[in-house]
Amino acid sequence: MKQDDSQTEDDPMKQSSLSGALIDKPNMVLMNTMFLFLLQQVVLTSGGAVRGHHQPPSHSLALDKAALLQFKRGIMDDPYSTLSNWNDSVDVCRFNGVRCDRTHHHRVSQLILNESQLVGLLSPVLSNLTGLRVLWIVNSHLFGTIPHEFSSLRHLKFLRLDGNNLTGPIPDSFALLSNLKILLLLDNKLSGTLSPAFFSNWSSSLEILDVSDNSFFGEIPVEIGNCINLWSLNLYNNQFTGVLPLSLTNTSLQSLDVENNGFEGELPLLIVGKLQDLAYLHLSYNKMKSQDGNTNLSPFFDALKNCTHLEELELAGMGLGGRLPDSIGQLGENLTTMLLQENNITGSIPPSISNLTLLRTLNLTSNLLNETISDEIGMLPLLEQLFLSHNCFSGPIPNVLGKFLKLGLLDLSHNQFSGGIPERLGNLSELIYLFLNNNQLSGEIPSMIGNWKELHKIDLSYNMLTGKIPSQITGMSEIRIFINFSHNQLEGPLPDELTKLEDVQEMDFSSNNLIGSIPTQITSCIALRLINFSHNSLNGTLPGLLNNLKNLEVFDVSRNNLSGMIPTSLNETRTLTFLNLSFNHFQGMIPTGGVFSTITYTSFLKNPRLCGKVPGIHPCPHKTHLFRSRIFLIIFALVIFVSAFFTTICCVIGIRRIQILISSKRREVVRRKPKAPELIQNFPRITYRELSEATAGFDDQRLVGSGSYGRVYRGVLSDGTAVAVKVLHVQSGNSTKSFNRECQVLKRIRHRNLIRIITACSLPDFKALVLPYMANGSLDSRLYPHSGTGLGSGSSDLNLLQRVNICSDVAEGMAYLHHHSPTRVIHCDLKPSNVLLNDDMTALVSDFGIARLVMTAVGGHAAAIENMGDSTANMLAGSIGYIAPEYGFGSITSTKGDVYSFGILVLEMVTRKRPTDDMFGGGLNLHKWVKSHYHGRVEKVVDSSLLRAAKDQSSEVKKMWEVAIGELIELGLLCTQESPSTRPTMLDAADDLDRLKRYLFGDTTATFASSLGVSSSTLDDD
């Protein structure tokens, strides 16, 4: 077919980066290849004859040009100048993204604007391009509804509008697009149901339909079975319900992805049994069950045997019950991925799984599997990831696992495996992650661990391993993240080969029976952030050049037999925040400066030969000189004689004065409690013994939290009151100041959203605050519940309304501190771990250890800054990630610094990303990340657990959800502006959140962040 010059340029597919465009999931090579071929046919045939009457060529192109220029006028932002040459002086066929068919019909046939980031309305004017075969506007910011006028594009074969901000339903008039082959509308905000009329008129043409990541609801029409050429149907991340229609068996489906919806009923065995060309089947996270009342998986897997081309099977997170049948081994020789995690599957792994010779990923985590793993599983030569954690497997780890020569991840943690670690695992030369922790493994660590040259993480903790740490550990020279052999029964010395692991960040060999000295060259492991050699029998001295560990944060060698002097080099390690040398035999003077300026005597317990200036440690003695000369003896005797003479005279005269003075001192002691902060008189008294009994002797099992100033224990007083006992490290000057300061603050404030004090206990060597116990823990623990896998944190169970209420509670408490408290208080350390949740999930701001009392109301006027005793000027005003940027330039603490910390907290609750996350570096922070990815599209930044919860809601509730999330993001961005003067006050934030709560409870007249007088969309870039 002959084409003009504009048609002979590079193929539009090459300009559009089509790889992976069909479905936003991995391993879709087959479908992408077929998709490219299909699009090629669409492009090559775009110049074919068009039936019906056509306007003269020049007039037709003129109309097309006018339509495109009018579309451009509706675009508000063109960051990449995609439309820069769209003007009257340029031939319309040479417009960027435009292709014409002038050979036969003189019309625009293709409009392809890929990754153009255009902002504007999807204008109905494009419907004037009636010669279009291909309309492709991808990953921009087009908004509005899909124009029903597009139904006039009767020759359209390919329509792709994914990655925009489009809302509303698919127009019913689309049923008129009888030539449409490919429709991609994924990743928008579309809603509504799928009309049965679509599938009636598209019956002979439609081949690909993808409406994933939207808010469609309702059931799939049975008329979809009319689309006999349909080979890819992607509906994941929507709110579809009902059952999958049996009419799908009339199609040509090769890919069916309906993950994360509300589909019900039994697994669709009748459908899959007839779709013999099915290659991708993704049903995860729906409400389907297995047959026979969720007890029998055999019928479904028997039906899957007919799908001989199956490559991916995903059935995760549905609570499926039953045993894995032997027919699992008949799923075809092409299967590469099988995800069955988070179900209730029982029994063992069938030996027939060995028939799946191309399997690369097998995930059976969090099921009820037991018994042993059969040797037949070793017949999977290409396996790369094997997840079997959190099951009930027992017996020895099979030697056959050593046959997985391609394996990169092996997770057998949290089972009941026993016996030794098989030598055959040394064959896994490509292993990167190994988790064998929390089992009952015994025996020695085999020397073959040196074969794991690519390992990044290894965790063998909480087993019963014995013997020495193999010297072959030096083979793991590429280990980068952590090595954890703690809580075993290992013995012998720490091998010198440990010093060859130069890139490891965490090294934990605690709670073993290790002896010998700490290798001097351990200081060559310059990436180390944590060293824990505690609870062993190590002896000798500490290495002298510990200051070479520039990144060291935690150093724990407590409960060993170490001796000698403490190296002064430790005071040069600026990153060190935790040091524990207790229960050893160190001697001499404790160094000064650096970390030794902040740590307490608890870091040196049971080291009787230590001395120094640390409170609680006896000072070092000075040398005395004895004067033995005769003159000294004469003078000394004379002084004694004279002193005795005058003493005899003065005793009689002064005895009454002494008695009066003693009586006066006793009365003064009654009136004054030395070293105790001033507390409200009606606080109940409590003794150290009562606190010890309440916490079972400050048992570690009662520990609920710890920090730089002390530890918090859960306890029950004699009257049955549940309390949290905050015990401070009194040896640290800063901790003593923290105790006094927290008492000063807590005695002055009373508010429902601020923690209250029950009482305090103050002794020379013990100081504690007694606070109400919060059964729901801290906000940090609810946002980031520990999953126990070693691979990160599980999802949060906090719903949207709870998060809004918590933000409102914190704002109310902070507004009281800043504006209504008798003494204005700057908290200085607002973060999720300092927000506690009581029984009814009311949030209370806590931890006033570094708070500042700014001014006291005296007759309605601001008095001078209150005297807090010890200066706090040199204390860090907050925690990393939450500190206002102006503090880094020496600015004094202010209420606007608390506003910044509050804004970070709000953004963290929406995104569930810590501001200290590794992703934030090189100038990028949480504020900038949210602002650059948000652009009014909450799904780009919002916590995925909120997304999943919203899918089950009605369209009205979903709309309210989007508004609420958007307003929280707006408020967080406003509060975290770089300039303090542009941030709102906490009163403003509290009022705005109160209006947001009223809106969520049905008050549609409420207004939000706009009431603060500014929107994040108007902020200058940081």
Question: Same structural domain for residues 959 and 997?
Answer: yes
Give the residue from 336, 330, 388 showing the smallest Cα distance to 364.
388
Report the binding-site residues. Answer: 726
Is 801 contained in some domain?
Answer: yes
Phi-psi region of 847 (alpha: psi -120 to 50; beta: other; left: phi over 0): left
pLDDT of residue 688: 85
Burial class (CB in 10 A: 0-12, 13-18, 19+), 391: buried
Question: Choosing from 829, 943, 991, 992, which is the catalytic residue?
Answer: 829
Q: Do 222 and 83 fall into the same domain?
A: yes
Domain CATH code at residue 733: 3.30.200.20
Q: Tell whether 724 is covered by a domain.
A: yes
Chain position carrying tokens 């508000």: 76
Provide the 3-class DSSP secondary structure of residue 811: helix
Coil, helix or strand at residue 200:
helix
Query: In terms of DSSP bridges, do strands 165-168 and 255-257 run parallel, antiparallel, or are they unpaired?
Result: unpaired
Token pair of 215 as six digits? 């808010």
310: in domain: no
Instruction: Please name the residues in contact with 448: beta carbons below 8 A apart, sequence gap of 6 or more.
Output: 423, 425, 426, 472
- Cβ distance 516 to 491 under 8 Å? no
Annotated binding site for ATP: 726
720/852 same-domain check: no
Query: Do residue 164 and residue 199 come from a single domain?
Result: yes
Number of domains in the chain: 3
Of 773, 798, 825, the position where a domain reaches its end is 773
Q: Among 741, 773, 805, where does a domain finish?
A: 773
In a domain, 7, yes or no: yes
pLDDT for residue 916 = 87
Instruction: Give the span between the Cα atoms of 204 and 977, in whole angstroms.
Output: 56
Q: Is 156 left (phi over 0), alpha (psi -120 to 50) or beta?
A: beta
Q: What is the pLDDT of residue 659?
A: 56
List the domain range (segments joined by +) for residue 16: 1-248
829 is catalytic: yes
Do 875 and 948 fall into the same domain? yes
Where on the phi/psi map is residue 163: left (φ > 0), alpha (ψ -120 to 50), or beta? left
**pLDDT reported for residue 935:** 67
pLDDT at 1: 36
| Pair 29, 151 in one domain | yes
Residue 783 lies in a domain: yes
Cβ-contact 573, 549 below 8 angstroms: yes
Burial string for 873-886 (b: 16+ CB within 10 Å, else e) reads eebebbbebbbbbb
DSSP secondary structure letters along 352-389: GGGG-TT--EEE--SSEE-S---GGGG--TT--EEE--
Residues 78 and 213 grouped into a single domain:
yes
Query: 856 and 712, same structural domain?
Result: no
Residue 187 in tokens: 């990743």
Q: What pLDDT digit, counting tens, does each position of 850-893 carry?
A: 667 664 433 333 333 333 333 333 344 678 889 998 887 777 88
Q: What is the CATH number of the domain that holds 994?
A: 1.10.510.10
**From the DSSP assignment, how many helices (H) and strands (E) are in the chain?**
16, 52
Residue appearing with tokens 């000698």: 564
Do residue 147 and residue 91 come from a single domain? yes
Q: What is the pLDDT of residue 53?
A: 36
Residues 797 and 733 in one domain: no
Q: Distances in Å between the alpha carbon of 324 and those of 238, 321, 354, 373, 934?
A: 29, 9, 13, 13, 43
* Burial class of residue 74 in the structure, from the number of CB atoms within 10 Å of its CB (0-12 exposed, 13-18 middle, 19+ buried): middle
Q: Residue 424 corresponds to which amino acid?
A: R
Q: How far apart are CA 730 and CA 717, in angstroms?
A: 23
Domain boundary among 229, 248, 267: 248
Comparing C-alpha atoms, which of 327, 399, 389, 329 is closest to residue 363? 389
Q: 949 and 804, same structural domain?
A: yes
Strand partners, 711: 706, 727
Instruction: For residue 358, tell me if it sits in a domain.
Output: no
Token code pair at residue 498: 């440990």
Q: What share of the chain is helix, strand, coil (3-state, %, to 5)?
A: 30, 20, 50
- Token pair listed for 192: 């509504």
Q: What are phi and psi of 652, to 5 degrees?
A: -65, -45
Please return the burial class of 657, using the count of CB atoms within 10 Å of its CB with bins 0-12, 13-18 and 19+: exposed
CB 324 within 8 A of CB 302: no
Write out the two tokens for 389: 């954690």
DSSP for residue 283:
-
Mean pLDDT, 10 residues at a time, the chain of 1022 residues: 37 35 38 44 40 46 93 86 91 93 79 89 94 93 94 94 95 92 95 92 89 95 94 96 96 95 95 94 96 96 92 95 93 92 94 91 94 82 93 91 90 94 89 93 90 88 94 80 93 90 91 94 90 95 89 93 92 88 94 86 90 87 49 71 70 60 46 38 72 87 77 86 84 63 73 86 84 88 64 69 94 91 85 90 83 50 37 54 84 90 94 86 83 74 80 76 88 92 92 89 61 43 42
Q: Which residue has the tokens 């060309």?
A: 277
Q: Tell me: the pLDDT tens digits for 650-705? A: 665 666 565 555 554 444 433 333 333 334 334 577 888 888 888 888 888 888 87
Asked if 814 and 948 sit in the same domain, the reply is yes
Closest listed residue to residue 134, CA positions, set 41, 265, 236: 41
Residue 902 lies in a domain: yes
Q: What is the CATH number of the domain that holds 169?
A: 3.80.10.10
Q: How far is it, in rounded angstroms, from Cα 815 to Cα 826?
A: 10
Cα-Cα-Cα-Cα dihedral sign, residues 185, 186, 191, 194: positive
The answer as to whether 155 is a domain residue is: yes
Inter-CA distances, 548 with 124, 446, 593, Å: 67, 32, 17
Return the pLDDT at 956: 75
Write out the H or E segment, with its range, that includes residue 745. helix 733-746
